[in-house]
Structure 1
Amino acid sequence: MHKKHSPLQMCLYLIGTIILLAGLAGAGFVYHSSTNDNSEAVGYVIAGGHVYALTTDESKGYLRNMELYGGTTAVILDRFNRWLVGLGQGKWHAYLLAMLSIAVAFGFYFAANHLTNGATEDQDG
């Protein structure tokens, strides 16, 4: 038995597919063009044969001054703020873009499927 889709359903499927393909292509482009280069490095730490960049927010002096002037709450809020800003940069931005495009495309597919169920009930009855 072949289901016949209405023009609105086909339009929703098409929009969902375009959003999915464009979002995943954009996420792939962002992923390959981004670097997790840390240009704010104030020093480097060698541990276990690997070199790690030390940023201002990871230095003991910065954390001590932050806690001295703002307390523990200021340190926690500063770390949260830097984490939140970091989500929009580098490879994390690509992951978020991919997840967002999948979620929006799923919403269009879901709407089209539920529109199908309502249309078939009206035609059968």
Structure 2
Amino acid sequence: MTDSFLARIPTLADAELRRYLEHPHGYKTEAVEAALAELGRRGAAIPEADLARVREALRSREARQASQAGRLLGTDPLVRKHRIRRVIAGILTAGLGGAALIYLRATPRMANPLGYEPEDTKKYLRELEVYGGKLNVLVTEFRRWFEGLWQGRSLAATVAVLTLLLAFGFWFVATRLAPDGEGR
């Protein structure tokens, strides 16, 4: 996407490039800087006051974004680590507790009154393959497996795995948003 954006900037008219400078808060920082560079390559005169205003608008936006991220978890490294741990503990407690409750309350799957599953017979699988090919058989097996994840004790395992992924994802993002690389 950046390559297409960088390729597009030189095709814009001066008026369109100046729009980036007039409203820097409405565009990504890279886009505003690319517009500035392109205007400079074209030899367009940009008053120093306008340059200072654009750079200040970009700096204030970046500072505002950093303070919003810091406000959520704190800027002090020790407080930040403590809050991250508490949030992760809450996610794990709720998710794994819910998974345990689901596991304990799940009833075993009832047996088919026919004594077998018709979908598991060779005849059924052969018909699937004849009508839709090997891919049809694979897709049908995948669909049955996926549906099985959301029932009974399999649901408890699914909730537990999703909880672990959510906790890890939160930890990963929260430590990467730390100001000046703190919290890692």
Unmatched segments (≥5 aa) in structure 2: 1-76
- Indicate the residue corresponding to 1:118 in structure 2: 181
Contact 1:87–1:93 (CA under 8 A) maintained in structure 2: yes
TM-score when normalising by structure 1: 0.66
Which ranges of 4 or more aligned residues in structure 1 deviate by more than 3 Å? Answer: 106-120
Please say if 1:103 is aligned against 2:176. no
Contact 1:12–1:111 (CA under 8 A) maintained in structure 2: no
Larger mean Cα displacement after TM superposition, 67-76 or 21-30: 67-76
- Indicate the residue corresponding to 2:146 in structure 1: 84
Structure with bigger RCO (C-alpha 8 Å, 6+ apart): 1
Compared CA separation, residues 61 and 112, structure 1 to 2 (3 A): closer
Please say if 1:35 is aligned against 2:107. yes
The structure with the greater share of residues assigned to strand is: 1
Distance 2:146 2:121 in 1: 19
Shift of 1:26: 0.3
Sequence identity (%): 33
Unmatched segments (≥5 aa) in structure 1: 45-53, 121-125
Please say if 1:17 is aligned against 2:89. yes
The structure with the greater share of residues assigned to helix is: 2
Contact 1:34–1:91 (CA under 8 A) maintained in structure 2: yes
RMSD across aligned positions (CA): 2.8
Larger radius of gyration: 2
